[in-house]
Chain A
């Protein structure tokens, strides 16, 4: 089985810092793959390279068998993404957003079906600005799926949500996997990674410092939870 994302020794430097210092990863079709790590570890840069928004300086990268640098337009037809803090116009209504986003794709999903499936039908006529945080995230998930993608990238989707909305969002992400969509989830929260991810990579200083199932990472660190394993692995525990 071919990997949906294959990353080999990927490097990316900015003027004053190195964001990716030789990252190697494989994401298999149909899994929820987590990317965790402290702020500034290179998570967002990695997701942006995979989506074709940034050009890596070195290494190789294949997404759905395509090179995001040269096949960006084809790739964007086949992936969905919700990157950090992206938004919609305040006065845009839920149904209009889904309909407009569907129109960008060659083979979109039926936007009305997506709206029903993700529980947005009752809010079809609600303006973006009037949606609560949880409903905004639900709309973003629906927008990421309206192009009928094989791969969805979610960057810190649950940051800023209250605990109940986070739990609901987890259910939605699991439901995506059940529909056969591969999900790459960038997250700060280890409880989230433990609950959702089939496998995850912990990134720090532009390196993958650990990769595996949550259980494997816990065993590797000799911890009792993924949260403790994460702190052991990143060595960021402060003396109490």
Chain B
């Protein structure tokens, strides 16, 4: 893992220098928050205040955007521009590059999550998470599982544009069906059934459980661990410089 801190630092500097995609990843969820709460903070079926459901949902939205869209686009752009080709003749390993790209993009997601929480707390009276550790574990496993899927896409997509298009076409159906935009309580049974098959569903489930004061079931957390391991190792095998 030699060089990983340098690569993370450089990647963050590059994100700041070309901030369009990062800006999009940070601002889009804030706009979503405003849209969702426009009608006031009414309780959902089941009694959860809308804001206490919406903030954790949009946190997964941010993580998903960074992991499934921005990260693969960065990696594929480096492939397209032969940046990876130059790195290939150095001791830098694919594992290290993956780790660095994941860390840099997840730091972006941390920033996005903090922004949503801050606005939720200041403008909409967000309640503190009932089970902080549960929320942190859910966040980390979401970042690992969705990040591994993003790395898999970034490992093979030939160009930045291709990665963006594929990433967005994974991201949008996922956020709508997995309950990251529409609360699961308000979804029809059939929609929920389809959504439960998507890898974002356990992420939304776990973080909302944590926020509500519980801990997600071992199955929910286990699915995320499994996705991380499987998608991550396939990504390493499939990686093209």
Contacts and interface: CB of A to CB of B under 8 A. Distances in A.
Contact of A89 (B3, B5, B81, B90): B81
A222 B86 CA distance: 40
Main secondary structure of the interface of A (DSSP, over half): loop
A73 B10 CA distance: 23
Contact of B91 (A53, A90, A104): A104
A103 B81 contact: no
Contact of A87 (B3, B6, B14, B83): B83
A86 interface: yes
B85 A83 contact: yes
Interface stretch (A10-18, A93-101, A174-182): A93-101
B38 interface: no
Contacts of B14: 89, 91-92
Q: How large is the interface on A (under 10, 10 to 19, 20 to 34, 35 or more residues)?
A: 20 to 34
B82 A89 contact: no
Contacts of B93: 73
A73 to B, nearest CB: 7
Main secondary structure of the interface of B (DSSP, over half): helix
Interface string B1-18: 011011100100110011
Contact of A103 (B3, B82, B83, B89): B3
Contacts of A77: 91
A100 B8 CA distance: 10
Nearest to A76: B91
B237 interface: no
Nearest to B96: A104
Nearest to A75: B91
A61 B159 CA distance: 34
Contact of A83 (B3, B6, B17, B89): B89
Contacts, number: 68
A105 interface: yes
Contact of A96 (B2, B10, B88): B10
A81 B18 CA distance: 29
Interface string A41-52: 000000000010
Interface residues of B, number: 22
A91 B17 CA distance: 7
A85 interface: yes
Contacts of B90: 76, 101, 104-105, 147
Contact of A86 (B2, B7, B82): B82
A50 to B, nearest CB: 11
A87 B91 contact: no
A86 B86 CA distance: 5
A88 interface: yes
Interface in A55-114: 73, 76-77, 79-83, 85-92, 96, 99-101, 103-106
Nearest to A47: B89
Contact of A53 (B2, B82, B88): B88
A51 B7 contact: no
B92 interface: yes
B124 interface: no
B231 to A, nearest CB: 25
A87 B5 CA distance: 21
B161 to A, nearest CB: 16
Interface of B: 2-3, 5-7, 10, 13-14, 17-18, 78, 81-83, 85-86, 88-93
6 contacts: A82-B86, A91-B18, A99-B6, A105-B90, A143-B86, A153-B89
Given A86-B85, A104-B90, A104-B92, 11 more contacts: A76-B90, A82-B86, A83-B86, A87-B83, A88-B86, A90-B81, A100-B10, A103-B3, A105-B91, A143-B86, A147-B91
Top 5 A-B pairs ranked by shortest CB distance? A86-B86, A103-B3, A103-B6, A81-B89, A91-B17
